[in-house]
Amino acid sequence: MNIRPIAISLSPNSQTDDVGECFKAFLNFTTWQKGIWEEKVQNWFIKYYQVKNIYLFNSGRSALFAILKSYGIGFDDEVIVQAFTCVAVPDPVIWVGAKPVYVDIDESLNIDCGLLSRYITNKTKAIIVQNTFGIPAKLNEIKKITQKYNLVLIEDCSHSLGATLEGKRIGDFGDAAFFSFGRDKIISSVFGGAAFIRKSDADNKLKRIYEELSYPKLSWILKQLFHPLAFFIILPLYNFYLGKVILFLMQKINILSKPVENIELTGGIPAVYPQKLPNALARLAFNQLQKLESFNIRRKEIAQLYFEKLQGLKSIRLPPQNKEAIYLRFNILSSKRDEIFKIFRRHKILLGLWYSNIIDPVGVDYNKVGYKLGMAKNAEEKAHLSLNLPTYPTIAENQVMYLINLIIKYAD
């Protein structure tokens, strides 16, 4: 077996060259905040999406916050989001003073566009579409609804950079789009994000908002740069317990940052948001952008293996098979979810639990973020059944087959 553990959330994209870039960035501390790498990332996105401007932020939630502000969305407004999501999506809606309105999901785990019209009121200003796990939502149908009601269509591309729908790139359908470069997203700079708006007037507002932002403190940048370097040491030792001990101690003494801070679980905003993407992390993002196509090809290959080998198992349901999806994670549904998860832990395999809560992660105060149980029954059902299999590009072929054989052995 590959010495790297099968762990879906432990910096899964990071390869040796990424660690090398991180080390170079670490040594060039005079360019941690500003430098050439921001422009390189901007130019990549401008060319890829054929947009006039792209703005880089220190997280996807900062990018979404800036988009909402650019459209003047605020107090007493409503923004439609889907249930079965991360708190990082409704939180920016709350931060601008608006109300997130949760809509149930369809069988693709994306927002059910057939339900949208009944949730639209005279207070509704925008719809955020998630493209869950890299499977495209019904964007053409949703776009017709937003045009009918004069709403802003915001594409959440955090799971779907590189995916397409009818040959058109995800991100090309909406009025605005935002991206996340989090530690377990399509590409990773530990923290980071981007946004663009197509209309000139709103884009001008976004530009002003961006220019008024500061860069994160050097101490925050240092903590993010330390993350790939730490995991370069932790991952080979993880299955021998020493790695687990090192990881626990680093988290305990706050050397490694958490993907979601406690204040966010109640709709609060951490002091670090919104800010610009620092140059040092832009360097990491740019290195991964050069590998985007190969990363996504590999994800599709792994997903195809799951489809081929796991068809016919009675106790699990596979996700929709879509040639244009990129499968950030391969989500199966099973009434044996918790049992399977525990069995795999005993085999030193950490599967994923997005989204085992209707609004993840565990500990989110549903009342504070505007969700009441029963609002989205399909999402609630799927949250109890969902289990993510890894598709990250660093997983080895023999590890994928080992995992598949375990599922066949224990799932039925």
Q: What is the pLDDT of residues 28-86, one digit of tens each?
A: 999 999 999 999 999 999 999 999 999 999 999 999 999 999 999 999 999 999 999 99
**What are the pLDDT digits (tens) for 150-159?**
999 999 999 9
Three-state secondary-structure class, residue 18: helix
> Encoding tokens for residue 43?
């130019």
| Model pLDDT, residue 252 | 81
Cα angle vertex 400, ends 260, 354, to 5°? 25
Q: Position 403: which residue type?
A: L
> Encoding tokens for residue 156?
């959440």
Residue 85, φ and ψ in degrees, nearest 5:
-155, 180
Catalytic residue among 143, 185, 205, 382: 185
Distance CA 42, CA 240 (A): 41
**pTM for this structure?**
0.96
Q: Hey, what domains does the chain have and what are their CATH numbers?
A: 21-212 (3.40.640.10)
- For residue 3, what pLDDT band results from cuts at 50, 70 and 90? low
Rounded to the nearest 10 degrees, the angle between the axes of helix 36-49 and helix 279-289 is 40
- The answer to whether 92 touches 139, Cβ cutoff 8 Å, is no
Percent of the chain with pLDDT over 70: 99
> Encoding tokens for residue 357?
């809560």
CA nearest neighbour of 228 among 19, 3, 20: 19
Q: Is the pLDDT of residue 4 over 50?
A: yes
> Encoding tokens for residue 96?
């601008």
| Model pLDDT, residue 1 | 43
Is 185 in the active site? Answer: yes
**What are the pLDDT digits (tens) for 75-132?**
999 999 999 999 999 999 999 999 999 999 999 999 999 999 999 999 999 999 999 9
**Mean pLDDT score across all residues of the chain:** 95
Cα angle vertex 323, ends 304, 393, to 5°? 50
Torsion of CA 13, 16, 18, 24, to 10 degrees: 160
Range with the lowest mean pLDDT among 84-93, 248-257, 345-354?
A: 248-257
| Model pLDDT, residue 10 | 81
Which residues face 128 on adjacent strands? 154
Range with the lowest mean pLDDT among 36-40, 251-255, 368-372, 380-384?
A: 251-255
SS3 track for 181-218: CCCCCCCCCCCCEEEEECCHHHHHHHHHHHHHCCCCCH
- For residue 223, what pLDDT band results from cuts at 50, 70 and 90? very high
- For residue 250, what pLDDT band results from cuts at 50, 70 and 90? confident
